[in-house]
Amino acid sequence: MTDSHILHDALAKLMTEQRNPSSMDLDTRSTEGILRLINAEDKLVPLAVEHEIPYIAEAVDIVVHALKNGGRLIYVGAGTSGRLGILDAAECPPTFGTEPGLIRGVIAGGQAAVFRSQEGAEDDIEKGRHDMDAQEITPRDVVCGIAASRRTPFVVAAVARARELGAKTIFLTTNPRSEFDLEVDVAICPEVGPEVLMGSTRMKSGAAQKLVLTMLTTTVMVKLGKIYQNMMVDLQRTNQKLVERSKRIVMLATGLSYKRAEELLESAGGHVKTAIVMALAGVSADEARKRIEEADGFVKGAVPPGP
């Protein structure tokens, strides 16, 4: 049997490559009928993700430990999966004030593949291994492979290389756990079923991956003290919207006026968390920073307990 036949047979068995019985008449439906069908299938995605919460929780704990001990979270994927990893990584610095290198994304085909499909890049096993070496992966790091099919050669090779280098490994796929056969620390396998358009994993699979990645990093940041109550208190004030949001957060957290919140933020060098501690503990900016450090980054540990 040729390599092509082996690949064909392997793909034919994947859940993500099956035909969806609900959409066999997709090409004859009305515009609204197509949209309603896609919407109905999309509603299955959060339920599939819900079943994986115990595994997502394991992944969160692994990442929190890594980031607390000098490690990084590295996403690696191809195509849509790679772009989703890059998107999640790119959103962490402005949202949570993380250093740009702390959470990063690697995509098959490099930067050009973010904007335009690089055909064949996902099959490059050696490049997958090389890219992990280029990232200088260490045992302190966590590498999260993202591949709807589970079989993407670039991703599988990268995760295997990361494991060889001692890193903890996570793998996110939308094929069944019963068929998962890779050696990783945690597998996350939301089963979203066949796509409305056969094999188009940018649809339900992509939606599931986006949900999981957002859950993962948001929960990690909560566990690292980047959130106070349900507000982002380490955000970077990189545009006017975020400048105004920072003032609103201080006002909501402290009950202070707009003007006073603005003054405190100026004294705190624009750092929301510091301004909140200054207000709630009645201390200077330097003392607030000291308290935050002693509280391991958590506002609640840096201020007097509430009534």
Q: List pLDDT tens digits, range 276-286.
A: 999 999 999 99
Three-state DSSP state, 109 = coil
Q: Could you tell me if 244 and 217 lie in one domain?
A: no
| CATH number reported for the structural domain that contains residue 213 in this entry | 3.40.50.10490
Catalytic-role residue among 41, 50, 58, 91: 91
Q: Could you tell me if 248 and 138 lie in one domain?
A: no
pLDDT of residue 1: 55
What is the C-alpha to C-alpha distance for residues 169 and 160, in angstroms, rounded to an integer? 9
Residue type at 66 in one-letter notation: A
Structure tokens at 67: 């980031």
Catalytic, 122? Answer yes
Judged on CB neighbours under 10 Å (0-12, 13-18, 19+), 242 is middle
Q: Could you tell me if 169 and 267 lie in one domain?
A: no
pLDDT of residue 14: 83
The residue among 236, 206, 230, 204 whose CA lies nearest residue 218 is: 230
Q: Could you tell me if 165 and 254 lie in one domain?
A: no
pLDDT of residue 67: 98
142 is a domain residue: yes
pLDDT of residue 118: 84
Give the global pTM: 0.92
The residue among 30, 298, 59, 299 whose CA lies nearest residue 187 is: 59
6 is a domain residue: no
pLDDT of residue 305: 84
pLDDT of residue 11: 64
DSSP 145-212: EE-TTS--HHHHHHHHHHHHTT-EEEEE-SS-GGG-----SEEE-----S-SSTT-TTTHHHHHHHHH
**pLDDT single digits (tens) 252-285:** 999 999 999 999 999 999 999 999 999 999 999 9
How many folded domains does the chain comprise? 2
Q: Could you tell me if 238 and 204 lie in one domain?
A: no
1 is a domain residue: no
The residue among 186, 203, 152 whose CA lies nearest residue 52 is: 186
Ranges in the chain, pLDDT < 70: 1-12, 306-307
| CATH number reported for the structural domain that contains residue 290 in this entry | 1.10.8.1080
Which residue(s) pair with 107 in the sheet? Answer: 77
Pairing of strands 168-172, 186-188: parallel
Catalytic, 287? Answer no
Catalytic-role residue among 122, 191, 195, 262: 122
pLDDT of residue 44: 97
Q: Could you tell me if 207 and 263 lie in one domain?
A: no
Domain, as residue range, for 32:
11-223
pLDDT of residue 42: 97
End-of-domain residue from the set 223, 255, 285? 223
